[in-house]
Amino acid sequence: MKSHKKIRWGIIGPGKIAHKFAEGLSYVNNAELYAVASRSNERAQAFAKQYRILQVYDSYESLVRDANVDVVYVATTNNMHYEQVKLCLEHGKACLCEKPFTCRAEELEELITMARAKNVFLMEAMWTRFLPSIISVDERIQHNEIGEILRVESNFGFTTEYDPNSRIYNPDLGGGALLDIGIYPVFFALHFLGMPVHIETDAIITELGVDSENNMVFYYDNSVKAELSSSFIQDLPCTATIYGTKGTITFERMWHCPTKIMKTVDGHEYDITPEYRGNGYNYEIEEVCNCLASEKKESLLMLLSESLQRQEILDKIQSFWNLKNEK
Ligand X SMILES: NC(=O)c1ccc[n+]([C@@H]2O[C@H](COP(=O)([O-])OP(=O)(O)OC[C@H]3O[C@@H](n4cnc5c(N)ncnc54)[C@H](OP(=O)(O)O)[C@@H]3O)[C@@H](O)[C@H]2O)c1
CA distances from 165 to 160, 162, 168, 214 (A): 13, 9, 8, 20
Look up 99 and say whether it is catalytic. Answer: yes
User: b/e per residue, 1-24, with b = 16+ CB within 10 A?
Assistant: eeeeeebbbbbbbbeebbeebbeb
Which positions from 216 through 245 interact with ligand X, judged by CB under 6 A? none
Tell me which of 6, 16, 93, 99 is the catalytic residue.
99
Nearer to ligand X, 48 or 80 (CB): 80
Given 13, 176, 182, 247, the residue binding ligand X (CB under 6 A): 13
261 phi and psi angles, rounded to 5 deg: -125, 130
**Which helix (DSSP H) or strand (DSSP E) does residue 111 occupy?**
helix 105-118
Per the CB < 8 A criterion, the answer to whether 169 and 206 are in contact is yes
Given 7, 11, 17, 313, the residue binding ligand X (CB under 6 A): 17
Q: How far is the CB of 163 from ligand X (least distance, A)?
A: 12
- Check binding of 15 to ligand X (CB under 6 A): yes
Nearer to ligand X, 45 or 136 (CB): 45
User: Would you list the DSSP string of 28-76?
Assistant: -TTEEEEEEE-SSHHHHHHHHHHHT-SEEESSHHHHHH-TT--EEEE-S
Given 167, 260, 297, 316, the residue binding ligand X (CB under 6 A): 167
- Check binding of 99 to ligand X (CB under 6 A): yes
How many CB atoms are located within 10 Å of the residue 198 CB?
9
Tell me, residue by residue from 40 to 59, as one string, x for binding to ligand X by CB under 6 A and - for no binding. Answer: x--x----------------
- Check binding of 98 to ligand X (CB under 6 A): yes
Closest CA to 39 of 50, 47, 49: 47
CA distances from 62 to 56, 65, 66, 101, 188 (A): 9, 5, 6, 22, 37
Q: How far is the CB of 307 from ligand X (least distance, A)?
A: 14
Which positions from 61 through 80 interact with ligand X, judged by CB under 6 A? 75-78, 80
Nearer to ligand X, 100 or 196 (CB): 100
Q: How far is the CB of 146 from ligand X (least distance, A)?
A: 27
Distance CA 175, CA 186 (A): 17
Q: Which residue is nearest to ligand X (CB)?
A: 15
Nearer to ligand X, 30 or 40 (CB): 40
Enumerate the active-site residues: 99
Q: Which residues bind ligand X (CB under 6 A)?
A: 13-17, 38-40, 43, 75-78, 80, 98-99, 125, 127, 167, 173, 180
